[in-house]
Amino acid sequence: MEKDLENCYFAQMIYEGNVMRVTDYINRRLYNVEIDKVLSNSNYNPELASFSKSIIVTSAPVSYGDSILCINPFHYVHQQAGIDQQPPRIIAMTDKNPNPSIPMDFDYMTVNVGQGLLGANACLGKIFFASFDISSIEFYNSDLKLVKNVLGPVMLPETKLSISIDNNGKHDVCYKGMDQPEAYTGFTIFNDKLYFIYTGRSIIWDNVKDYYSYILCFDWNGNFLKSYSAPVRINTLSVSVSEPNVFYATIKDEENNPKLIKLTPTNTGE
């Protein structure tokens, strides 16, 4: 496993209960690492799935049965800019159809905006998409049909956009400036609960560490269960197996290096 993972030059890790999902964007590989097996077996090799090299993938894909799901990079709505591109939110890649076609006749090339977090539970037949810049979590069924959209708790203003025209006559859309609304930035899964890292403010990237995080807890049906207020800005999150209301999180220290901390009910405002 070490030999494979050490070559992940641009990777992302997400904790989903006992599984650590590692996305290798360069080599287009998805590893589902079972943490218990890593600790008990030095020769353990994680489950590996390759995904399409022809589809733009800007947020971590997820395994779902025999499929790999990813976010459609051209799904984007911005009312003030008059952008309303709503092709299917989620794309499914399978062995029989590893490179599903994506219509490219859109006026706006929105691969740099409007992305979010994707998670799935094949046993429950549930999938979610949580937006980076809009306070919205969308819940889908196993047919990739939207069944519920949870809005709030803060209705963030739309981000400012920079729109230009490329050589092909398409409109390139990017974020404008360093002041941007920030909604959901991460998540973890524990048993039947979803824990999302949430900001709910317009932030200035130069002072990003000054914006603290909330932890919002939902079930897979999209029902809100509980919230926690963290005294720091959280980068990644996991839940204690023995103490469900205790979290372990990574933050950035004064030298901007990752630091592991423990969050208990006394300092999360339970």
| DSSP code per residue over the chain | -HHHHTT-SSEEEEEETTEEEEEETTTTEEEEEEHHHHHH-TT---EEEE--SSS---S--EEETTEEEEE-TT-EEETTTTEEE-S-SEEEEESS-SS-------SEE-TTSS-EEEEEETTTTEEEEEESSSSEEEEE-TTS-EEEEEE-SS-PPPPPEEEEE-TTSPEEEEE-SSEEEEEEEEEEEETTEEEEEEEEEEEEGGGGGGS--EEEEEETTS-EEEEEE-SS--SEEEE-SS-TT-EEEEEE-TTS-EEEEEE-TTTTT-
- Name the residue ranges covered by the structural domains of the chain: 1-50, 58-234
Note the pLDDT of residue 74: 92
Q: What is the pLDDT of residues 77-126, one digit of tens each?
A: 999 999 999 989 999 999 889 889 888 788 999 988 989 999 999 999 99
Q: Please state the rounded mean pLDDT for residues 12-39.
A: 89
**pTM for the whole thing?**
0.90
Using the predicted structure, report yes or no on whether residue 148 has a pLDDT greater than 50.
Answer: yes
**Is a pLDDT exceeding 70 seen at residue 130?**
yes
Residue 2 has pLDDT above 80, yes or no: no
Look at residue 141 and tell me whether its pLDDT is greater than 60: yes
pLDDT at 270: 60
